[in-house]
Amino acid sequence: MSATTVVKIEKVSKRFIIRKEKSLKERLVNFGRSNLHKDDFWALRDIDLDITSGSTIGLIGANGSGKSTLLKMIGGILQPTSGTVHLRGRLAALLELGAGFHPDLTGRENVYLNASILGLSRAQTDKHFDAIVDFSGIERFIDTQVKFYSSGMYVRLAFAVAVHVDPDILLVDEVLAVGDEPFQRKCMDRIRGFQHEGRTIVLVTHSLDQVAELCDRAVVLEHGAIIADGEPREALRTLRGEFEHTRQEEIAREQEAGQEAGSLPTSKARVEAIRLMGEDGTPVSEISPGQDLRIGLTLQADERVDQPIIGVGIDTPLGQNVFGTNTKLLGRRLDSLSGRKEVEFRLPGLQLGEGAYTVHGAIAADSGAELHRLIEGAQFTVTTGGGSVGFVWTQAEFAGSPT
């Protein structure tokens, strides 16, 4: 192991046995034939990974891809079926809610218990105790049994202990999502402080923007294998491409199932299709910030709809709306809608940040009651040259010291 490598993972695989028996009786009846009543599930397959000192690594992927299993391997919570994991330095881990806490002990007692598990002596814990409690913000409940704590209080206390044990390597598995917004900001500030101190951080999260902002490297896992490892923006493009492929397969299955069932929309008006075009009217699936985007809707009204409201919106893959408009907001009043009709919205100079986006379309009655909404009717990506993160893009410049 080189002097700069603090985590070295070599040919690591992890197998879980999934048993089909649902009760002890079934296990006894099937004893001796157990191989017929169990399946092997390989959560990880031949993982090779080196993590160097001072780096911040994001482990990302879909649910079930093996991210948390790999993190638990690094933390020593799970042992590999094959392969080896080598560590250098003191490690602190936030792998799951309340891990290392005893429900019948108070918060104070659990601080000492958790700190001792992480390698601190009682004298060292005494030294840090006040800072731990102050960081957690649960002073009033520190002498209450933790079984009465909320999930947010669990995370506050666990994170406070982890960041005060002076770790060389910090492992974090999505638990920060449980805390409230002010505490999440405090945790992010502490993580950035660790980065400035040259500590190593391995982060599992579904917040891809967080990965782009915090990490200098991202590893994408799929079905227990690494499919991308490198600069966060490139890794995120790979992951978003996989998400989009999966989503298209789901949409195709849903459409096929609907056709087989003979299901038809019951709304008297609906959005049948959405198409995306550039300024010249040619179809597009990828744009750069500042380009025009034209959104065409194919509408079908089986019954006459008087003074309808037509709208479109742009969403993130997680469903967060980043832009929306409609004919009412734009001051355009439509007389009626009947039969088939094509309409178009134009978004000139769209300044979206890098990432994947979906487009929805909707029809509402004049009263505002929605008649139909086509979710994820179209998809596109925005590609930038770097230099910023977030949903809004601008050509930022560093002006130096103010004059």
The DSSP output letter for 203 is: E
Residues near 303 by Cβ (< 8 Å), separated by ≥ 6? 268, 269, 338
User: Cβ(247)–Cβ(219) under 8 Å?
Assistant: no
Q: Which amino acid is at 352?
A: L
Can you list the positions of beta strands (E) in 129-264?
Answer: 169-173, 200-204, 217-222, 225-230
Q: How many whole angstroms separate alpha carbon 139 and alpha carbon 144?
A: 10
Residue 350, pLDDT score: 93
Q: Which of 238, 214, 240, 211 is nearest to 318 (CA)?
A: 240
Helices (H), 164-198: 181-196
Q: What percent of the chain has pLDDT over 90?
A: 43
Is pLDDT at 177 greater than 90 in this prediction?
no
C-alpha separations of 189 from 67, 183, 185, 195, 204 in Å: 24, 10, 6, 10, 17
Segments of 132-256 assigned E as strands: 169-173, 200-204, 217-222, 225-230
Greater confidence, 120 or 255?
120
Beta-bridge partner residues of 287? 382
Mean pLDDT for the chain? Answer: 84
* 1-5, 262-266, 395-399: segment of lowest average pLDDT: 262-266
Q: Given this structure, which CATH class describes domain 264-382? A: mainly beta
Please tell me the distance from the alpha carbon of residue 328 to that of residue 363, in angstroms, as a whole number.
11
What DSSP element (H or E) covers 379? strand 370-382
The reported pLDDT for the residue numbered 265 is 46
**For 152-161, what is the mean pLDDT?**
85
pLDDT in tens, 270-314: 999 999 999 999 999 999 999 999 999 999 999 999 999 999 999
Length of the chain: 403
Residues 326-352, mean pLDDT to the nearest whole number: 93
State how far the Cα of 2 lies from the Cα of 382, in Å rounded to an integer. 39
pLDDT at 2: 47
Instruction: Give the tens place of pLDDT for each residue, 190-210.
Output: 888 888 898 999 999 887 777
Integer Cα distance of 240 and 226 in angstroms: 15
Position 1 pLDDT exceeds 50:
no
3-state DSSP call for residue 294? strand
Per-residue pLDDT at 253 exceeds 60 = yes
Determine how many CB atoms are found less than 10 A away from the CB of residue 370. 12
Domain ranges of the chain: 264-382
